[in-house]
Amino acid sequence: MNKYTNSFHERANAMADSLILEHYSLSELNFETVSHYRERFARVKPGHPWNGLETKEFLYKIGAWGKLRDSSKEGLTLAGLLMFSEERIITEVLPQYFLEYREHADGEAAGWTKRFTSQDGTWSGNIYDFYFRVLAELERHVWTDEGRALLGEALVNAIVHADYGEEGGITVEKEDSSFRFANPGRFRIPIEAAMAGHTSNLRNPNIFKMFLLIDVCKRAGSGLKRMLDMQEQALVCPVDISQQTNPDRTIVVLCPLRFPADTSETIETELDERLQQTELEWMGSDNRQETESFVTNELSSVNTDTNPVNNGENSVNITKNSVNSGPSSVKNDFGSVNRTPDSINKELGFVNSLLSSVNNDIRMHDSNEKGETIDERLWKMAELARRKKRLAPAVMEQLIVRLCRERPLRLKELAELLERTPDGLRNNYLGKLLDEGKIRLKYPDQPNHPRQAYMAADE
């Protein structure tokens, strides 16, 4: 058994994540994770003096590297191991360590539509990459900034307050009726004090500090109170917090994030305005008539092929309950705060309309290839992303696949074309598209190849 396994719980009342693992060096780290952390740190704090430090000194400053003053020995801290190492190495020190995300099929008691764990070998398995990978999945189910902020707060709280020596690991579940965040360990202060936000008793102060430095966390002790403050705008019911024993475990459940019924008219108008604005800005006034005809008379490929929910009796474009058919659309929910099928279809319709606009523009570019270089064509194809800093995930994914179909593109090239950060693209889109088989690596057997690039899977 590893020498650090027994000592972890013996230090239960100390700052456990500052424990120095003197036999664990920089070679135990996933340097891609470290690189992405430093890129984010530099973006959040562009003038900070730590940006110019060597790796070891930078890690020391943020609490990921430690020094034993009395013996002149040094090594990774437990926090550094959890944030930047890999699952196989982390479990040498913390055998109970486990991370999991899963989505349950709507309306079914069993079965998952998506699942990944720290043990599946397709990614690093550390808590830094887990945060951004899970956040990208959660944000796909949310349509409001308040809802996204709330889910992000719940996720980072589970990571920062977890007792990584306990059983059970961190699990995040998305069901048709809830988002569930569970972590090992119980509150170290009364739950009333935690809700008030005036008291802090951090289990993992170094992990908290590392997330704080990249603007993922706010001040210590404010997390739960921030969640409670946001719930009225983002949730239809209070945050449900429970604690278990044997093993100790904290569970936070958030109800589905939905549009309140009394805002249905506002939402309908806003979506229509956003769609018109996007079409006019992207296509130009000379192409407005052609775009309207395309969106009105043709269902997009997503609408006819991959989104069968729009082809049924609640179809956006077909039934009498369509968004565009008046009083019987979004409003017949009798004041309920729950979204009706028409409301959901309207959101899908908005995404599909955007996709139609993108597809139409790409078809125009394809028909005008003569006389253009491929880089000029790529630049024009990506214009929508540069104009719109907040695109629906489905639209961005469609753009990425189209761009990668033109020629293999490196991460920095995609980031420049789309005006997005490299780590944002990697964590929010590229990993998912690779998992779904929509794109592939140019050098699949050499992930760290210096000329690694992304290609459309059908090439």
In tens, the pLDDT along 291-329 reads 344 333 433 433 444 444 344 444 434 343 433 444 433
Same domain, 162 and 178: yes
Query: Is 120 found in the same domain as 40?
Result: no
Q: What confidence category does residue 62 fall into, taking pLDDT thresholds of 50, 70 and 90?
A: very high
**Does residue 440 share a domain with residue 312?**
yes
Q: Which of 92, 117, 147 is the last residue of a domain?
A: 92
Residue 169, by phi and psi: left (phi above 0), alpha (psi -120 to 50) or beta? left
**Is residue 267 domain-shared with residue 198, that is, in the same domain?**
no
Q: What are phi and psi of 296, to 5 degrees?
A: -75, -40
pLDDT: is 277 or 146 the higher one? 146
Among 222, 254, 286, which residue terminates a domain?
A: 254
Q: What is the pLDDT of residues 199-210, one digit of tens each?
A: 567 899 999 999
What's the pLDDT at 218? 75
Q: Are residues 107 and 45 in the same domain?
A: no
Task: Respond yes or no on whether the N-terminal peptide bond of residue 247 is cis (omega within 30° of 0).
Answer: yes
**Predicted local confidence at residue 449, as pLDDT:** 87
Report H helices in 140-262: 145-160, 191-196, 205-212, 223-234
* pLDDT class of 238 with cuts at 50, 70, 90: confident
Contact 50, 181 (CB under 8 A): no
Domain count for the chain, please give it.
Answer: 3
Are 229 and 327 found together in one domain? no
Q: Which two tokens stand for residue 249?
A: 């475990």
Same structural domain for residues 303 and 338?
Answer: yes
Q: Would you say 217 and 69 are in contact if contact means Cβ atoms under 8 Å apart?
A: no
User: In this structure, are 428 and 283 located in the same domain?
Assistant: yes
Which domain CATH number covers 147? Answer: 3.30.565.60
User: Is there a single domain that holds both residue 424 and residue 306?
Assistant: yes
pLDDT of residue 217: 84
What b/e string do you get for 42-72 counting C-beta neighbours within 10 Å, with b at 16 or more? eeeeeeeeeeeeeeeebbbebbbbbeeeeee
Same domain, 236 and 385: no
**% of the chain beyond a pLDDT of 90:** 41
Range of the domain at 127: 95-254
Q: 101 and 13 in one domain?
A: no
Q: Which two tokens stand for residue 164?
A: 């990584």
Residue-wise pLDDT for 438-450, tens only, equals 999 999 888 888 8
- Of 254, 269, 297, which residue is a domain's last? 254
Q: Tell whether 79 and 163 lie within a shared domain.
A: no
